[in-house]
A and B are shown apart, each in its own frame.
Chain A
Amino acid sequence: MNRRLYLIGALLLLAFAGFSLASFRDTLTPYVTYQEARAANRVVQVAGALQKGSSAYQMANGSLLFTLRDPKTSDLVRVRYHGLRPANFEDAISIVAIGRFDPRAQEFAANKLLVKCPSKYQGTEVEKTYS
């Protein structure tokens, strides 16, 4: 009796471990280059510097549009983000956008932004945005 219960418990734990692993793989958002992001048909994250003067907020559909520039390859990508403009967006040294590339609009549709501010605020809370 007892041995069978332990077996059931172990099997349940094993099943949950498998479920967690599958969830982990499904929701993992890898860091990729813009080139890879364009080809990837999944949620990824890209990082870059904000192209000065490229950001515009479109009142009509409530989205923030801006261009990210890869400091290494100078590759550019247009990013569209629905949501709050992060507090220190304009003077961020680096912006990480999490989302997927929309091939029709030729834009990276971000659903979360991480904004890295200049090092003067090393390690303080910044802005979080989710949608």
Chain B
Amino acid sequence: MDYVTHLYLPGALALWCALAFALSCLWGYSMVLRGDATALVFARRAYGFYALAVGLAAVLLILLLVLRDFRIDYVFHYSGLDLPMHYQFASFWAGQQGSFMIWLVWGSLLGLLLQRTAGKSEPAVMGIYILTLLGLIFILVRQSPFAMRLDAPLDGQGLNPLLQDDWMVIHPPIMFVGFALSAIPFSFAMASLWTRRFDGWAARAFPWALGGFLVLGTAILMGGYWAYKTLGWGGYWGWDPVENASFIPFLFGTVLIHGLHLERTRGRYRRANYVLATLMFMSVLYGTFLTRSGVLADFSVHSFVDLGLSGWLVGILGTFFLLASYLLATRLRQVPTRPNEDPLLSRGTFMVLATITLLVSALVILAGTSAPLLTRFMASPGQVGPSFYNRVNLPIALLVALLLALVPYLTWRGETVRTVARKLLWPGIFALAVTVGAAVWRIDQPLHLVFLFLAAMALASNLMKTWEKGRAGGLAAAGGYLAHVGVGVILIGILASSGYDRSAKVTLVQGVPQQVGDASLTFIRFIPRHGRQKECMEVEVVRHGERFRVYPKMFINSRTRQLMVNPDIRSFALMDFYVSPLEYDPGQPRLELAQGESGAIGQTRVRFVRFDLQAEGNALVQMAAGQTVTVGAVLEVTQNGQTAGVRPLYRLNPADGRVDTPPLRLPGGGAVRVAGINASSGKVLLDLGGVANPAHLALDVTSKPLISMVWGGLYVVLAGGILATLNRLRQVRKLDSLGRLE
């Protein structure tokens, strides 16, 4: 950007101060680690000042956005005069620099919390943690959001209209909380290796890892829901690289919390957890590199344009890779472990299997997302589509469902096949009933029926276990089971809504009902924009005797001139009725007539008699005076054998070039409007709406069975996650008060 030459000084200064304080804080903690206990106060104070500087920078950026200071290049690019105030916040994280900024802000705030709760491990953990923040500060100093333009534009370029949505205001910042959280288990793991204190870190890192899992899950849910209700292709997940970049850390995080659970209850996975915490954090960095460096520019709809950050991102990725590899390679063997004595049919063995399964899933998705990089040096680089992910994840989902169904009724000490089978009797009967019902309904593929059986059994067995625990007063410890109930619900929802949706493309003629599947649709009318309500289509649906209307939107964004399309969704208990507009043809035929000429559209004949220059005062006088010029078109319209004279008007304001042409109703139906006047040839252009050629609306109509189970299940997973997080937090507090933690 050669037109950007200097920086907005207060903002740049705040960022440089943040860098300086972060470095001094790092130095302070390293002194503590070398044995100088007095440096701790200095380090903490430095971190306080550092957080203050970051906060100041963020407040300045918000202020510049709110004041709409378009001299700032970032404000110019992502804001505009017509952007409502609450979307100014969305502008904050709409671009590269701002999104790194919000990441840094969350990271710095979490650091304040981490500092106070890390106990004796504070110096080492905070040292590593500040390193992760430094990476972000370097990026922001290099690509400052405070870069100024040479010119001072009067208006900005505005925010992408697709992002002007309430879900999109909160989805990205929540995602960045998740990204920031992923650095904390990593910091605990690296600090533990560094200081060779291998015991306490798992307990302390556990609530943070659960928090990261929860927040990433929430953000993914929001992104999916936004895509479903805004974009109109009817899905919520497309395996796009940017989506995967958040899903892979989420999966690694899921594996990590199970690994930590194994470590805390059985003393297993003590070495693996170091690797898992590293994988979770590194996958966040790697995903950031993939989506921000421009390497995927030709492969993703979301990818950010390369702003010259590739080198920095590779550098940060490489630094942490080397640091983690060094520590893992040299210290991991010193971590004491216990030989595996778990019997085959025990919870320990099955949890290990589950973690391996999820780990494999994450690695395969990682490989798929990296396809453009992996094939970069082949003759023609390529990418893999959604079919790859769906194919490889189907066996994984089957296995996950099976393990989920078994795990609640396996104990740590081991079970016999007989006892497990007896305990699984009721969930099995429930699952069988569901499967038979589904087969009667529509599900015909054997593999899908097996999948459904396992998912239903997982749901039932975990629900029973949650219930049992809750009745015994141990609901606090049942978070895991509750989350697994949710997974069962989600798996069923995904199968039904993606595998057995029914979609049809139809073209409706205005006013004529048309049968689509089990519904009858009628295009009622086009509703023009009024106020903040965008243009939309009114469509009446009659389905199983119930009558309702849907209003899919279709409008031209006034700033970008893009045609925007939003679906409308009618949700029922068992399915969603999803209507997405494809194309609208207003069906207004035009006639261009010279004086005395006649034309016909359908049964309507129009003769253009002459121009009327005295419609609202003399047009020539108006023209000479520079006032609004009004010209009438004298027409004879013949409909149903009746001829009537009509005189539609054409008003032109020469000052601003604005044209006003009110439509005039015709006695025999329809309306006429002067669309244009050609003064030199003396011709008039007429719009005849609703006369003969009716309007057409092309729609994509989809019924999505049980999609509410996808959202509902996710809420259950999150509720379970919250329970588990609270439970683990309580344990840390207890251990801490007893002085049993590092």
Question: Which residues in B have their C-beta under 8 angstroms from that of A27?
Answer: 384-385, 387-388, 391
Decide if B371 touches A121 in the complex (CB within 8 Å).
no
Decide if A88 touches B560 in the complex (CB within 8 Å).
yes
Q: In the complex, A53→B356 CA distance in Å?
A: 53
Question: Which residues in B have their C-beta under 8 angstroms from that of A96?
Answer: 298-299
Closest residue of chain B to A2 (Cβ to Cβ) is B340
Check if A78 is an interface residue, CB within 8 A of chain B.
Answer: no
Decide if A128 touches B240 in the complex (CB within 8 Å).
yes
Q: In the complex, A13→B307 CA distance in Å?
A: 40
Decide if B580 touches A91 in the complex (CB within 8 Å).
no
Bitwise, A104-122 to B at CB < 8 A (1) or not (0) is 0000000010111001111
Question: Which residues in B have their C-beta under 8 angstroms from that of A5?
Answer: 344
Decide if B160 touches A125 in the complex (CB within 8 Å).
yes
Question: Which residues in B have their C-beta under 8 angstroms from that of A36?
Answer: 380
| Interface hub of A44, A45, A87, A91 (most chain B Cβ within 10 A) | A87
Closest chain-A Cβ to B577's Cβ sits at a distance in Å of 17
Q: Which of B562-580 contact A (CB under 8 A)?
A: 562-565, 580
Assuming the A-B contacts A23-B391, A128-B240, are A31 and B381 also in contact, with contact meaning beta carbons closer than 8 angstroms in the complex? yes
Check if A32 is an interface residue, CB within 8 A of chain B.
Answer: yes
Count chain B residues whose beta carbon lies closer than 8 angstroms to a beta carbon of A: 65
Decide if B384 touches A28 in the complex (CB within 8 Å).
yes
Closest residue of chain A to B696 (Cβ to Cβ) is A59
> Of A9, A13, A29, A83, which one neighbours B382 at CB under 8 angstroms?
A29
| Interface hub of B232, B292, B307 (most chain A Cβ within 10 A) | B232
Assuming the A-B contacts A84-B232, A84-B700, A125-B163, are A20 and B385 also in contact, with contact meaning beta carbons closer than 8 angstroms in the complex? no
Decide if A130 touches B235 in the complex (CB within 8 Å).
yes
Closest residue of chain B to A92 (Cβ to Cβ) is B562
| Interface hub of A36, A85, A125 (most chain B Cβ within 10 A) | A125
Closest chain-A Cβ to B600's Cβ sits at a distance in Å of 23
Q: In the complex, A23→B233 CA distance in Å?
A: 25
Closest residue of chain A to B304 (Cβ to Cβ) is A123
Q: In the complex, A28→B560 CA distance in Å?
A: 35
Bitwise, B614-653 to A at CB < 8 A (1) or not (0) is 0000000000000000000000000000000000000000
Question: Which residues in B have their C-beta under 8 angstroms from that of A130?
Answer: 233, 235, 238, 386
Closest residue of chain A to B360 (Cβ to Cβ) is A16
Question: Which residues in A have their C-beta under 8 angstroms from that of B364?
Answer: 20
Count chain A residues whose beta carbon lies closer than 8 angstroms to a beta carbon of B: 52
Decide if B305 touches A91 in the complex (CB within 8 Å).
no
Decide if A85 touches B382 in the complex (CB within 8 Å).
no
| Interface hub of A19, A26, A43, A130 (most chain B Cβ within 10 A) | A130
Question: Which residues in A have their C-beta under 8 angstroms from that of B391?
Answer: 23, 27
Decide if B303 touches A123 in the complex (CB within 8 Å).
yes
Decide if A28 touches B360 in the complex (CB within 8 Å).
no
Q: In the complex, A21→B394 CA distance in Å?
A: 15
Q: In the complex, A45→B381 CA distance in Å?
A: 10
Assuming the A-B contacts A125-B302, A127-B301, are A85 and B583 also in contact, with contact meaning beta carbons closer than 8 angstroms in the complex? yes
Closest chain-B Cβ to A4's Cβ sits at a distance in Å of 11
| Interface hub of A90, A96, A123 (most chain B Cβ within 10 A) | A123
Q: Which of B138-177 contact A (CB under 8 A)?
A: 157, 160-163, 168
Decide if B301 touches A31 in the complex (CB within 8 Å).
no
Question: Which residues in B have their C-beta under 8 angstroms from that of A39?
Answer: none
Closest residue of chain A to B374 (Cβ to Cβ) is A24
Q: In the complex, A28→B344 CA distance in Å?
A: 39
Decide if A90 touches B562 in the complex (CB within 8 Å).
yes
Check if A71 is an interface residue, CB within 8 A of chain B.
Answer: no
Q: In the complex, A5→B350 CA distance in Å?
A: 13
Question: Which residues in A have their C-beta under 8 angstroms from that of B582?
Answer: 57, 62, 83-85
Check if B96 is an interface residue, CB within 8 A of chain A.
Answer: yes
Decide if A31 touches B380 in the complex (CB within 8 Å).
yes
Question: Which residues in A have their C-beta under 8 angstroms from that of B360?
Answer: 13, 16
Apart from A23-B391, A30-B380, A85-B583: 10 A-B pairs, beta carbons within 8 A: A24-B371, A27-B388, A62-B582, A82-B505, A114-B301, A122-B307, A123-B302, A123-B305, A127-B162, A130-B238
Q: List 28 A-B contacts (CB under 8 A).
A: A20-B364, A20-B392, A27-B385, A28-B383, A29-B384, A29-B385, A30-B380, A30-B382, A31-B298, A31-B382, A57-B698, A59-B696, A60-B507, A62-B505, A82-B505, A83-B233, A85-B565, A91-B561, A115-B301, A121-B160, A122-B77, A122-B96, A122-B307, A123-B292, A123-B303, A125-B168, A125-B302, A131-B233
Q: Report which B residues bind A (CB closer than 8 A).
A: 77, 94-96, 157, 160-163, 168, 227, 231-233, 235, 238, 240, 292, 297-305, 307, 344, 356, 360, 364, 367-368, 371, 375, 378-388, 391-392, 395, 505, 507, 560-565, 580, 582-583, 585, 696, 698, 700
CB-based closest 7 A-B pairs: A123-B304, A30-B382, A30-B380, A27-B388, A62-B505, A122-B305, A124-B160
